[in-house]
Amino acid sequence: MENFVSPGKSQLNGKIDLYQRMIEEIQDYAILLLDTNGIIQNWNRGAEKIQGYQEDDIIGKHFSIFYLQEDIDTHLPQKLMEEAYGSGRVAQEGWRQRNDGTRFWGSITITALHDDDGNVIGFSEVTRDLTDKKLFEDKLRMSEERYHQMVAEVQDYAIILLSATGVIENWNAGAESIKGYKSEDVLGKNFQIFYPQEDRERGLPEILLTEAREKGKAMHEGWRIRKDGSKFWGTIVITALHNKKGDVIGFSKVTRDLTDKKLSEDKLAAYTAELEVQNSELEQFAYVASHDLQEPLRKIQTFAGLIRERFDDKEFVERYFEKLDASAKRMSELIRSLLNYSRLSKERNELMNESVDLNVILKNVKQDFELMIEEKQAVIVSDPLPTIAGHPLQLGQLFSNLVSNALKFSPSEAKVTLRYSKMPKKQIHDAPYQLNEEYYHCITVEDNGIGFEQQYSKLIFSLFQRLHGKQDYAGTGIGLALCKKIAENHNGFITATSEAGKGAKFSVYLPVSLLA
């Protein structure tokens, strides 16, 4: 160091000596003194430790001895010196090599040293071995890169990074394949674009973000919308992301497409529900069949017993033979109706796709009831009816039962009116379940007959349910149960509205997708 210390300032000698010792003893930093050509003039213990040279080996060598060949080839040492020369200081990090050829990651600062006139008289080079830090950072970076790559390439999960307000900031391949958007379509947009209209209207996306913000995460399953408008059943987890202060800085949203699972679950549930319905129908069927068939049979036995007891009373015997006959007829009528009804249950799964012109069906029904229409001086008027895909025999039975009911429960000069309209599901308020189809054919059959009290509007569709005494109106109590089943077989339903004495109106709703 004597080249750089003015020997004339003797009072400082003690301090300078101490200072020099300090430099020499520092172990964690290599501190080198270079002359203006880059030749090593001095060297401390740290340098010895970091770079692995003995003082004697290194003094007088050019500092580029520590640099890798490729850095020497690109003139890195000279460039650094030139920059330190011009700017006073230069800092750089890079691989260097030790005496034994091993490498270390050095953080280097070269500082120009000036004389009193400002002329550069040499350089100090301070080097720190940051190999461990460098290796750790490299490992971390690689791990982060691998992680990002993994997220980016995961196909089965849509992994999306959202801002604190729900704006999409990042998007992986899974998101692209599940939701159908390219990342440029969605980056910068709010994630609520994936939600169906009704969920957006009830604020579901915001509700989920709030929940994630408050509880750390939010989970949900529901229908979501792809770019092409198709739906998929998504199961999602939104997790809040926090900074060190604990503020929410965004959300991760992981979505899985479980449409297939959902559809098979729904199918299973529908199948189970249908089995339950069929089971309960079967129970009802067994009950009513045993009750209603038992009744005429019991009467036949009773009448036969009474006839035997009073066989000599001719008038009595005549009268009870007639009753016996009537009971036997009723029994056979019931059996025929029951067979008809059970056949309908069997036909439930048959293809309902024949093209059926309902105008033709109505025309045939009018012909069948010609006599009754004449007797009752009835008028049947109808709107033009549609042609639908269905089961012609069943639809014939449906119209036949509705028209005959209207005639039966109407006085003379009966007026039966059939109206047709295509109705959006939003306008249908008396459906027995949530409607899946957008539009329904609505065919109403209205009469001016005795009607019924509205409280019986559901009961009348039950098997063997009668609202009027047998002596007043003939029938088995199966007709409307049959109509209900036929409508259901066509994925539709039937409703009834009335007021006692003011006529009845039956409305049959069949999905428009049945259009032939």
Residue with tokens 């391949």: 173
Q: Do strands 379-382 and 387-390 pair parallel, antiparallel, or not at all (unpaired)?
A: unpaired
Q: Which of 212, 204, 289, 280 is nearest to 250 (CA)?
A: 212
468 lies in the site for another protein, by CB under 8 A: yes
CB of 296 to another protein, least distance (A): 10
299 lies in the site for another protein, by CB under 8 A: yes
Q: Around 126, how many Cα atoms within 13 Å sit in the side-chain half-sphere? A: 13
Distance CA 509, CA 441 (A): 6
* One residue of 15, 343, 470, 502 binding another protein per CB under 8 A: 470
Q: Which of 191, 243, 180 is nearest to 220 (CA)?
A: 191
Distance CA 489, CA 353 (A): 12
The residue range among 41-49, 96-104, 304-312, 424-432 that interacts with another protein, by the rule CB under 8 A, is 304-312
The distance from CA 449 to its chain's CA centroid, rounded to whole angstroms, is 50
CB of 328 to another protein, least distance (A): 13
CA geometry: angle at 476 spanning 473 and 482, to 5°? 120
185 lies in the site for another protein, by CB under 8 A: no
Q: Record the tokens describing residue 314, joined without a space.
A: 């001719």
Given the complex with another protein, which of 307 and 486 has the nearer CB atom? 307
CA geometry: angle at 409 spanning 407 and 410, to 5°? 65
The distance from CA 429 to its chain's CA centroid, rounded to whole angstroms, is 27
454 lies in the site for another protein, by CB under 8 A: no
Residue 317's identity, in one-letter code, is V
Distance CA 452, CA 459 (A): 11
Given the complex with another protein, which of 164 and 467 has the nearer CB atom? 467
DSSP 202-229: TTHHHHHHHHHHHHSEEEEEEEEE-TTS
Given the complex with another protein, which of 148 and 470 has the nearer CB atom? 470
* One residue of 389, 456, 491, 512 binding another protein per CB under 8 A: 456
284 lies in the site for another protein, by CB under 8 A: no
Given the complex with another protein, which of 9 and 298 has the nearer CB atom? 298
291 lies in the site for another protein, by CB under 8 A: yes
Please say whether the dihedral angle defined by the alpha carbons of residues 29, 61, 99 and 52, taken in this order, is positive or negative.
Answer: negative
CB of 345 to another protein, least distance (A): 22
Given the complex with another protein, which of 18 and 500 has the nearer CB atom? 500
Beta pairing partners, 140: none
CB of 154 to another protein, least distance (A): 57
290 lies in the site for another protein, by CB under 8 A: yes
Contacts of 277 (CB under 8 A, 6+ apart): none
Q: Per-residue x/- marks for another protein, 113-142, CB under 8 A?
A: ------------------------------
* One residue of 136, 147, 271, 287 binding another protein per CB under 8 A: 287
CB of 279 to another protein, least distance (A): 17
471 lies in the site for another protein, by CB under 8 A: yes
* One residue of 51, 327, 382, 507 binding another protein per CB under 8 A: 327
The residue range among 14-22, 106-114, 291-299, 362-370 that interacts with another protein, by the rule CB under 8 A, is 291-299
Chain residues that interact with another protein, rule: CB under 8 A: 287, 290-291, 294-295, 298-299, 301-303, 305-306, 309, 323, 327, 456, 465-471
